Structures are given as structure tokens and as C-alpha cells.
Amino acid sequence: MADPPRAPKNADAFSLHSTGHDSAVHVDDHREPHWTPPPPPAIPADVAAPAQALAQSDHGDDDDDENAPHEYVSDSGFDSESLLGDETDTLASSIMNYRIENGRQYHAYRDGAYWGPNDEVAKEILDFAHHMYLLTLDKKLHLAPIANPQRILDAGTGTGIWAIDMADQYPSATVVGTDLSPIQPEWVPPNCVFEIDDVTLDWTFPPNHFDFVHVRELFGCVPDWDFFFAQAYDHIAPGGWIEIVEHGVHPRCDDGTMGEDHFFHTWGKTVVGLSEKWGKSFTIWEEAKERLEKAGFVDVTEVTYKWPMNGWPTDRKMKDIGRWNQLRLHEGVESFMLRLLTQVGGWSVARAQLFLAQLRTELKNYKVHAYLPGTVVYGRKPLRST
């Protein structure tokens, strides 16, 4: 395998605001309590999703894995060992000094590197998606055939809900979740920890360290996927696994009910076009298999899935997923698109809101059998690198 690049291409050229790279920060405090999902909010009947609640894990009191080589113990909200001298408090304050744009709250660390907000509405939408993935994967947290993993990384953990569930499922493992925002809950299993870090840059973990690396919905976040996968390869232990879970943003249709001039096509082309202009693509769902193989992973497997745009399917499982997707898009479309439209596309807020409103309207049409395509791709690092 050829030596991977040691820095992403034009790493700082892909932020909406100027940024600098600080070392990873360990977060124990400054987080909201773990989200308890309510029934779907009251929206018009033709948009309403099924009133289902996610089952909350019963976090045990297992002791920390004292044999884990990566230390995560800290009395403060941040791991001062990863910082320099008296700059700890300053960095902690800067991370919490969120940016407000058009009435939405965005992360401060690596300001502008991510397109989505981190406020309460955005966090709820992320947890809706977690429920949808559980429905899609038949309540499985992963498809990779991992066995007794001891070190797990959730890259871009978001609200941390997947990492928390994995910590419950594998109590002997240390689960690390990294993100740009300290929005994860305070009360978590003892074997789960969160760090503020940008995984699109050089990883600061030991090489050959993780048994499993999980990536979900990092579309539009990574400027150089080959560099990202090279980093993952270096830091996964021989025999360890990586799994990439992503979906497309350009709706498709298999039965001709979505005409060539339908708004969903306009929507998809707009999102993909803006991502190309920004330099962080939304098409990784269809590229992951080839890129993992290019990075040196073996036994790479791709599993496809579909998320209906609303509840049009007759199959009960797909109808349920579609209704949740309709709710997720109806309530979360501003989170997904407002910053891209205004900051990257240069649109006025009024024009952007009209565009978002048109999507909400089209989501009500059950006669159009559209869906978002997606893939789960997993691969193994060879026991011996070539």
C-alpha cells in the first residue's frame, strides 16, 4: 500500500469562516442531559409521523476498563493534558462561544467547518435519524462482523447517542466519540467518553489502536476522503473494522412517478452543486466502497438501503421509515440547508426560506414515490499490511 498523505488537501480552505487547528479536547461537562425522544411534534396530519419513542438504554455501573491504554480521566470539563499551560480555560470558553447565524446556533471550534447547527432542534433531528437507522438495520447498531471490540471510535458522534448505545452493548469496550461540538449528554456509561476534535485533520490517537471505527452522516463534512480513510487505516488495529453509513441527497424514483422536472431533482442538484462549490461532497454514499478498497481495506462489503421521502410505500417497515424521514426533513430541512444556501450559495435568507418551504410542500405528496438512496459499507484492515 502506498504511503498515505499526511495532511488533507487545502484543509483550511473548506471552512465557511477562518479556523485554526487545536488539539483534541476531552469533554466531561458543558453538555446537555441525554435526549429523551418525545412523540413526533404536532404538525399537520398529512405530515405527521408515527408517535414512536426511542427506547432509552439502561446504563450500567460497570467500572472503567483500567487496562485501556488511552487515558480519559479528568476532573475538569476539558483534558488539560492535551492543551498548553494556562490556555485551557481560554480554549474551553472559546469552544462554548457558539456562532449565531440567521437565528440558528453553530459550533465554535473549527468555526464554519460543518454546515449544520448544534442547537436543540438540530440535536433532536440527529436523534430522529438514529431511530431511523435502527429501523433500517433491524435494531442493529452496526453490520460489520466485529467480535469483542475493546476500543471503538465514533467519528463525528453528534449527540453521542450511537456511542452511548454501543457502550451499553459492549461494556468491556472503551467507546470514544469525537465531534466539533460539546453537545453530548453528561450522564453516560462509564466506558463512554467524548472529545472535541476534527477528524478531517491528522488523528492524534495511537496507531493501530481501534478495533472498530464508525462513521455516520459525515457527508458534506470531509474535504479529502482519501486522507480521512488513510488516517482511519493507520489508527485501526490489524484485523479491525471500519463502517461508513451514509445516504444520498438527490431523491430517486423507480416507477416513473417523479417527472424529470420535479422539484426533488432541483433540490438534489442544488445540494450537490453547493457541496462541490464548497469542496466537501455529499456523494460519499456511492463512493465509500471504492475509497475503502483504495485505502487498503479488505473484505469490503456494501449494503444498500432506501429512505422513502414520506409514507408512500405499502410495506409496513418502509412506510414507517418514510414517515420518520418525512418528519425529519420537514422539521430539519432548515438545519440541513440554511447555512449552505446563504454562506456558500450567497442566497438571501428570504430566498432560502422559500426554497425550503417548497421542499416541505412536496413532502406531502404521496403520489410521488421518491426515496433517498443509501449504503452501509464496512471493511477490515488486513492482519498484515502489504
Per-residue pLDDT of 80-136, as tens digits, reads 333 333 333 334 555 556 556 556 555 544 544 555 565 667 778 788 899 999 999
Task: Over range 1-21, report the average pLDDT.
Answer: 44
The Cα-based distances of 330 to 6, 57, 247, 326, 340 in angstroms read 40, 27, 17, 6, 17
The Cα-based distances of 298 to 77, 208, 233, 240, 289 in angstroms read 39, 16, 11, 11, 10
Asked if residue 156 lies in contact with residue 168, where contact means CB atoms within 8 angstroms, the answer is no
* Grid cell listed for 161: 447517542
Q: What is the spatial distance between Cα 198 and Cα 146, in angstroms, rounded to a whole number?
A: 25
In the DSSP assignment, the letter for residue 386 is -
Task: Over range 377-382, report the average pLDDT.
Answer: 98
Task: Over range 185-202, report the average pLDDT.
Answer: 88
Q: Is pLDDT at 48 greater than 50 in this prediction?
A: no
Q: Is pLDDT at 332 greater than 70 in this prediction?
A: yes
Mean pLDDT, rounded, of the chain = 77
Beta bridge partners of 363: none
- For position 14, what pLDDT does the model report? 37
* Grid cell listed for 88: 485551557
* Grid cell listed for 311: 409514507
- For position 130, what pLDDT does the model report? 93
Bridge pairing between strands 210-216 and 192-196:
unpaired
- For position 46, what pLDDT does the model report? 42
- For position 289, what pLDDT does the model report? 97
Asked if residue 301 lies in contact with residue 279, where contact means CB atoms within 8 angstroms, the answer is no
Q: Is pLDDT at 284 greater than 70 in this prediction?
A: yes
Domains of the chain: 11-380 (3.40.50.150)
> What 3-state DSSP class applies to 228?
helix
Q: Is pLDDT at 263 greater than 90 in this prediction?
A: yes
- Scanning the chain, the segments in alpha helix (DSSP H) are 87-96, 120-136, 161-169, 225-235, 263-278, 288-295, 316-339, 349-362
Identity (one letter) of the amino acid at 48? A
- For position 124, what pLDDT does the model report? 80
Task: Over range 274-287, report the average pLDDT.
Answer: 87
Q: Which residues of 69-102 are buried (b: 16+ CB within 10 A; e: fewer)?
A: eeebebeebbbbebbeeeebeebbeebeebbebe
In the DSSP assignment, the letter for residue 160 is S
Highest mean pLDDT among 270-284, 296-310, 342-356: 296-310
Q: What is the spatial distance between Cα 363 and Cα 340, in angstroms, rounded to a whole number?
A: 21
Higher pLDDT pick, 194 / 10: 194
Q: How confident is residue 58, by pLDDT bands cut at 50, 70 and 90?
A: very low
Task: Over range 247-259, report the average pLDDT.
Answer: 95
Q: What is the spatial distance between Cα 324 and Cα 326, in angstroms, rounded to a whole number?
A: 5
Task: Over range 13-37, report the average pLDDT.
Answer: 39
